[in-house]
Structure formats: structure tokens, C-alpha cells
Structure 1
């Protein structure tokens, strides 16, 4: 006589499940071979088993680990709000080995916020050793990653695009040992973010950040910490006119062939550079008011110990700030990202491979 586990007991055992591990690889043909092997990242997101409520490794909430084999994945991926504590792990030797890519600009998609290659909404998202890419190029707004995940971490990741590469829009976000490339406003949104030991690479004239804090009491803002800004601007190329038919032309022209540290997408925009190396292509004035003088009274733009040929405190716009090391402490991860739940972003990132 075969023993059948009572359904209530089976459900109870399922509910105590811990971490879930899912494999994504091009060598998986249909996604129906098993419940934990899929040919695409989105199929894994749609059909993976959910982690149970019991703690996972290190006593953390249980997680779903999406382990992505080396390859280029031509797809769009959406992590919905009900998919919390998801970790994408690139299984290659470097971030270049696992690429999630798409090509879509605002004109094609019907707006900037429909262009992203990867959209993340569930809290507690993590990614390690992956490249996220939008290959639309200089054709207007084209987002590689739209991140609305509180307590999200990206480690050893690359973000490639031109205009609006990374939409860091909501929650506390920590990027470490990563690389972000773009030309126009390529980090934008209203999240609370620290970019730690990260390279911001300008592949054309424009502005590195367009943070969008809307009120003085909001805790949001961008901090570029212990990082490096690099430039790939081709100064031999002819200047781009302000012809409205040319994607991003007005923004690029306003940058005057150089890099701006930031400009206010919304009036209370906040961005701070701490211990960061700046190239000679950074405009001496540093910051821009986006054509609205009143933004100078509300935006908060600051530096502390900038280095390199682009560090020029005496030439910065008078409404920006130069912070002492003591003043800069409020923008370090332990305070800036802590929140009411005492989130330790550095400790969490250290647990990733």
C-alpha cells in the first residue's frame, strides 16, 4: 500500500522551505524539463518556486537565486512587486560573460518608462556579475535598468546605454564595484542611492546625474563615493546642433562638449560626490540649473575631497557646496542608507560572491 502524505502536511512542509536555486541557460530547451531550469531569465521569473518564510542562509529571509549561465540574453525582464528577495547571479568569470540586453527607445516604446531592458519592483533585489544593456544608442531616452526596489544591491555589474541608462527611482539602493555608462542624464530618478567604488563613464557630452527629489524633507539623493568618473568624449567630432529632430540634441548641446556632474530633474535634486576622481572633461562650473534659476535655491549639490584634473572647487557654481570630511559623514552608507530597519548595505553586499 502506497503512503500518501496528507495535503495539509505537504503544504506545511512546503511553507517551511528555505532558499530556492534556479538555473537559466541557453542549453535548457523549453523550460518544462524541470521546475528550476529555464532557457530565459523572464521564464525563470514567471515560473520559479517561491522561497518559504523560514530564514535562508546567514539567518536572512529566504531568497530565490537565479543563476544565469554565460551568454547573451536578448529579452526584457520584469521583477514584479510580489517577487521579493530575488538574486540574479551571473555564473561567468566577469560581468561581460552574462549580458541581458534589449534595444528600445522612447519613441518606439511610447515613452521613457516603457523602454527598460530590466524592470525591478520587488524589494530586496540583488544582482552580481551581470551586464544590463540597452543598445538603442543616441536615439533618445533608452533605459537599461529601472530600479524601484528598496534594499537593492548591485555588485560587480555593468549598466550600458546612452540617455537615461539607469532609472534609480525608489527605495534604498547600493551599487558597489560596478560600471555605469551613458551620455545624457544617465543616472536619474528619486531613490536614495550610494554608488561605492563605481566607475561612471561618459560616452558623450551631457550630465552624469539628474536626481529628482521633490521636497526638502525627502531622504532621497545620489552619493558617488570613493569612485571614478571617466570620459570617452570624442572632441574631434562636430558639435551637435539643437535641432529637435536629433535625439537628445538640446541636452547634449547645453553640456558644451563636456561632462556636468548633475542637473535638477526636479527642484530639490540632491547629489554628492565624496572622494571621487574627476576627469578633465568635467566642466569647471560642475553643475547646471537646467535653465531655471529658482532651482539654485532648492537643489543640493556638493563635493568632498574630489580629486583628478576635473576637481576645481574654486570654479564651481556658487550655489553648490564643498563639504568637510565631518559634514560628508551623513552621506556615508551607515547613515544615508540605514533607514528605520537599520539596513547594513555593506554587510549585505559582502555576502554576495
Structure 2
């Protein structure tokens, strides 16, 4: 009997190593304004929880459950805080808002203005609003994301110029809302936007993607989404302009309001060479979508070409990351 027990123990230990079973537990803490911090289970601010929540063993996650309210704070998530999840406990994203109002002229540059900066790998956020309320003050980031395998689900990103800086790693945004006016989705991440409403609050440019070479596996892919241009009157908005020469933006089966410029995309400067850019669409719909009026450098993809940009292909990397499956695990 003793020999059998030892054999069983060895078997199950070996099985756990073979199948990759992890025994690490997640750490879940509560963020509640005014709550006394006990250093382990509850914290009064989001940043306090980011800084001091216990670190889980192994590959566990730190989960911050954030009570509804308006959080007037700037949040910095460092590289040494990977696998962090922020979840708003309200009924909708509007109920839990992280907001600040810093802008470039005041702060000494665009990249000192973000309300939230994410550097830790495998970051997740669900049911939250990220806001920069500076308004028409120039560059003012709601969020800066430099996180590989980052997921945002049921989130809102509110700003005016440079709302969302998606600049590094693989990123997946789903069932979310992004508002702004000038280059308000920008950077050089491999970012996929799935079922997202992109809302132009004034004439300008939706995207400013900054791929540096044709070899980079980066770009912005927007699928099954809507470009909303309410209240623009007779003014128009561009689907994007190239921040760098190899800029890549693809719209797949996305509805476009009448406020989208007929040319679709715009050059950064008059006389720029568009031959290195990759701007494309597949089955755009709505009054702002007719392909016959598009600029000559905008490609209309075939079904086979469009499949290259599915999230499980475009974002898979060498580790075969499946962002849709990961996002499905969030509430």
C-alpha cells in the first residue's frame, strides 16, 4: 500500500509537469476610495493597489476589483507588475472612470500626459473608462499601452488629440468605445480592434500608425466596428494618415458614417510618397464607404487577403497567442 501511494504521488507530480498544470493562485484585491489599506486585500486608490497588492506565486494574476466612482488619479503600471487585471465593478464602463487632465504644453511633451501608462506584460482591463479631460489643449493621452498580450474589453477611451497611444506589443480591444479628434489612435503596436465604436468628436484623423519598415509585424486592424461621425455637420474625418512611411491600417467589414472623407485615407504632407504605406479595406459598409471614391493608394482586399488579418493570425506571434479566447475568460 505504501509503495502504491508513492507511485501515485510520483505519477501525479509527473502529470502536472507534462500538462503544464499550474498551482499558482490569483490574488484579488478591492479598490475602494476612503477604505483603509490593510496592505493585502483592500486599497484606497488604484495606484496604491498596483504598488502594494501581494505578488502571486507562479503565473497567477493580480486582480484589482475597482468599486464604481470617478478616480482622479494618474496610474503607472511598471514592467515588473505583469499579469495585472483591472475590473470595474459598476453595471457599465461609465460607472468607473480613471481621469486626469494633463496636456503636452503644460507637461513638457506628449508622452508626459497619459492618465494611465501600461508597461507590464499581459495586462487586462474590463468595464472601465480611461479619460483625459484636457479637451482642445493639444496632445493629451488617456492611455499609453506598451504591453505585449494586452486585452481591453468593455472599455471606453475618451480624449481629443492622441487619446490612445498603442505603441508596443500585441494588443486586443473588443466591445469598446474610443473617442477623439486628431490622430487619436496612434503608435506602432500590433493592435486589433474588434467590435469597437470609433467616435470622431471633431474633424481630423482617426489613426496615425507608425510602422518603421515593411518587415515589422505591426499595424492597426479594425474589424466589425463602426466609425461614428455624429455632429460633424459638413465636415469630414479621415480614416488615418501615416505617422511613419510604412504605416499600416486595415478596416474589415466596418460601418462608416457619412462624415468619412470619400478618399478614405490622407497623406501626412502634400507630395508624400504613398507606395510604402499599406492602407486597405474589406467590405466596408455605410454612406462613408464607397470604394470608387477612395484614394488610389487604398487597397480593396479579397476575402483571401482579408483572412491574413484575423486576430488569431495577426496577433499569434511565436507563442500562438489567442486573444479572443483570452478575452472570453473576462467577465
> TM-score by structure 1 length?
0.86
Give the corresponding residue for 2:134. Answer: 136
Alignment of 1:221-236 (within 5 A): 221-235=219-233
Distance 1:324 1:297 in 2: 20
1:149 to 2:141 alignment: no
Report the alpha carbon displacement of residue 324 of structure 1 after superposing the two structures with TM. 1.1
Could you tell me whether the CA contact under 8 Å between 1:153 and 1:345 is conserved in 2?
yes
Distance 1:46 1:34 in 2: 10
Give the corresponding residue for 2:157. Answer: 159
Could you tell me whether the CA contact under 8 Å between 1:202 and 1:233 is conserved in 2?
no
Distance 2:231 2:106 in 1: 27
Distance 1:322 1:162 in 2: 30
Give the corresponding residue for 2:261. Answer: 283
Secondary structure of the 2:182 match is coil
- Structure (1/2) with the larger strand percentage: 2
Give the corresponding residue for 1:103. Answer: 101
Give the corresponding residue for 1:37. Answer: 42
1:26 to 2:33 alignment: yes
Give the corresponding residue for 1:336. Answer: 314
Distance 1:42 1:186 in 2: 25
Give the corresponding residue for 1:49. Answer: 54
Report the alpha carbon displacement of residue 17 of structure 1 after superposing the two structures with TM. 4.9
Distance 1:305 1:25 in 2: 45
Could you tell me whether the CA contact under 8 Å between 1:337 and 1:345 is conserved in 2?
yes
Could you tell me whether the CA contact under 8 Å between 2:232 and 2:259 is conserved in 1?
no
Secondary structure of the 2:168 match is coil
Secondary structure of the 2:208 match is strand
Report the alpha carbon displacement of residue 325 of structure 1 after superposing the two structures with TM. 1.4
Distance 1:133 1:185 in 2: 16
Report the alpha carbon displacement of residue 66 of structure 1 after superposing the two structures with TM. 0.6
How big is each residue's C-alpha offset from its partner over 1:286-341, in whole Å with a ceiling of 9 and x where there is no partner? 11111153440111000000000000101111011000111100011010000000
Give the corresponding residue for 1:326. Answer: 304
Distance 2:24 2:248 in 1: 42
Could you tell me whether the CA contact under 8 Å between 1:22 and 1:37 is conserved in 2?
yes
Distance 1:119 1:161 in 2: 15
Distance 2:270 2:316 in 1: 33
1:349 to 2:327 alignment: yes
Q: 1:63 to 1:228 in 2, by over 3 A?
A: same
Report the alpha carbon displacement of residue 233 of structure 1 after superposing the two structures with TM. 3.7
Alignment of 1:298-313 (within 5 A): 298-313=276-291
Instruction: Structure 1 unaligned segments of length 5 or more: list them.
Output: 1-15, 54-60, 237-256
Could you tell me whether the CA contact under 8 Å between 1:191 and 1:222 is conserved in 2?
yes
Distance 2:134 2:230 in 1: 18
Distance 1:273 1:174 in 2: 15
Distance 2:265 2:80 in 1: 39
Distance 1:182 1:294 in 2: 25
Give the corresponding residue for 2:9. Answer: none
Q: 2:295 aligns with which of 317, 323, 326?
A: 317
Report the alpha carbon displacement of residue 34 of structure 1 after superposing the two structures with TM. 4.1
How big is each residue's C-alpha offset from its partner over 1:217-242, in whole Å with a ceiling of 9 and x where there is no partner? 00000000010110134438xxxxxx
Distance 1:234 1:167 in 2: 24
